[in-house]
C-alpha cells in the first residue's frame, strides 16, 4: 500500500510518499505540518521569524532567536558551513561588506545572534533540505521504514530501502536538456540535492545569484552540481558549495567523497563531469 501527500510549500511542489503496511494514518499529515513550520519560520517572502531576525541584524542590533525551528536551522547551518569549507553561507550578500556567517556570533546558550556589520539571511535551497529532514524525522518516529520525499525536482530524501528492495534509483537529468541524464544514483536513508546555474527556475526574479562567499564573485559558468548526503541540510549546502567553489576548495570537497559529489560542465562540446583542476573561477 502507498499513501501520498501533495501540497505547495517553500515555493515548490512537495510530495511525500509512504510505502508499507497500513497504519500511522496521521504520519504524512504530521510530516506536512513539519515542512510547513519550516516554511513559516525560514521564509523571507512574508513576515516570519527570519524577517524579524534580519530586521534586527540589519539595524545593528542583537537578535534573539525565539523560534525553535529557526534556532535548529541555525545550528544546522553552523555545521554545514564548516563542512563546506565556508562555501555555503546563507548570510553572504553582495550589498554588504560583512563576512557572512563568519562575521556572526551565535550564542546558543542565550539563543542570540550578534553581528558587527549589517547582515541578513536568505536560506534558499537549504530550507528545502532542512524541511525534508524534519519531515523524515516525523515519519521515522511514527515507525515508517520506507518513504520518498521530494521538494520540487532538485531536493529528494528517502527513508530506508525501495519497496522492492535495494536502493532508490534516481537519474539526474541535465538542466539544459531534460532528456539527457548526467548521473544515476541509488539512495538508502540518504538525501539528494541538485544545484545549477542554468535550466528552469534559474532566471526567476526572486532567485538569489550563485555567490562565492569570500570574494562575492557571481558564478555564471554553465554548471550543475549534485550531492548525496545523510541529511538534506548537508546535501543542499554541499551542492551549492560545489557549484561556487574555486579550484582549490573544489578539489578538497570532491576528494572528500567522490562517489557522492559531482560537478558537471554544461558548456556545449566539452566533457561534462569535471575535476576541480578544470573548473574555471567563474
All structural domains of the chain, each given as residue ranges with its CATH number in brackets, are 1-44+123-166 (3.10.520.10), 49-115 (no CATH), 167-278 (no CATH)
| 10: CB partners within 8 A, 6+ apart | 35, 38, 39, 43, 127, 128, 131, 151
pTM of the model: 0.92
The one-digit pLDDT tens for each residue of the chain (282 residues) are 589 999 999 999 999 999 987 666 799 999 999 999 999 999 999 999 999 999 999 999 999 999 999 999 999 999 999 999 999 999 987 676 556 899 899 999 999 999 988 899 999 999 999 999 999 999 999 999 999 999 999 999 999 999 999 999 999 999 888 888 999 999 999 999 999 998 766 555 555 667 888 877 788 889 999 999 999 999 999 999 999 999 899 999 998 888 999 999 998 876 577 654 444 434
Cα 52–53–55 angle (5° rounding)?
Answer: 65
Predicted pLDDT at 81: 96
Predicted pLDDT at 280: 45
Predicted pLDDT at 203: 54
Predicted pLDDT at 98: 54
What distance in Å separates the CA atoms of residue 246 and residue 51, rounded to the nearest whole number?
31
User: Which grid cell is 135?
Assistant: 519531515
Amino acid at each position: 500500500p502507498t499513501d501520498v501527500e501533495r501540497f505547495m510549500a517553500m515555493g515548490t511542489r512537495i510530495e511525500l510518499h509512504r510505502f508499507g503496511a497500513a497504519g500511522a494514518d496521521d504520519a504524512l499529515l504530521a510530516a506536512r505540518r513539519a515542512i510547513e513550520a519550516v516554511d513559516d519560520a525560514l521564509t523571507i517572502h512574508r513576515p516570519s521569524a527570519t524577517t524579524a531576525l534580519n530586521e534586527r541584524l540589519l539595524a545593528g542590533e542583537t537578535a534573539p532567536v525565539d523560534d525553535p525551528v529557526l534556532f535548529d536551522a541555525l545550528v544546522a547551518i553552523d555545521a554545514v558551513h564548516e563542512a563546506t569549507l565556508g562555501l555555503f553561507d546563507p548570510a553572504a550578500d553582495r550589498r554588504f561588506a560583512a563576512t557572512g556567517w563568519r562575521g556572526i556570533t551565535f550564542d546558543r546558550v542565550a539563543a542570540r545572534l550578534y553581528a558587527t556589520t549589517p547582515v541578513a539571511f536568505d536560506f534558499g535551497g537549504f530550507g528545502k533540505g532542512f524541511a525534508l529532514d524534519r519531515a523524515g524525522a516525523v515519519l521515522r518516529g511514527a515507525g515508517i521504514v520506507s518513504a520518498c520525499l521530494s521538494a520540487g525536482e532538485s531536493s529528494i530524501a528517502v527513508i530506508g530501502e525501495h519497496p522492492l528492495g535495494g536502493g532508490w534509483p534516481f537519474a539526474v537529468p541535465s538542466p539544459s536538456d531534460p532528456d539527457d541524464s548526467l548521473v544515476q544514483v541509488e539512495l538508502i536513508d540518504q538525501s539528494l540535492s541538485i544545484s545549477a546555474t542554468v535550466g528552469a527556475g534559474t532566471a526567476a526574479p526572486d532567485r538569489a545569484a550563485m555567490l562565492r562567499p569570500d570574494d562575492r564573485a557571481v558564478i555564471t559558468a554553465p554548471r550543475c552540481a549534485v550531492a548525496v548526503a545523510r541529511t538534506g541540510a548537508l546535501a543542499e549546502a554541499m551542492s551549492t558549495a560545489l557549484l561556487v567553489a574555486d579550484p582549490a576548495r573544489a578539489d578538497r570537497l570532491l576528494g572528500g567523497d567522490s562517489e557522492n559529489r559531482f560537478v558537471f560542465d554544461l558548456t556545449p562540446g566539452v566533457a561534462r563531469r569535471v575535476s576541480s583542476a578544470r573548473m574555471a573561477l567563474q
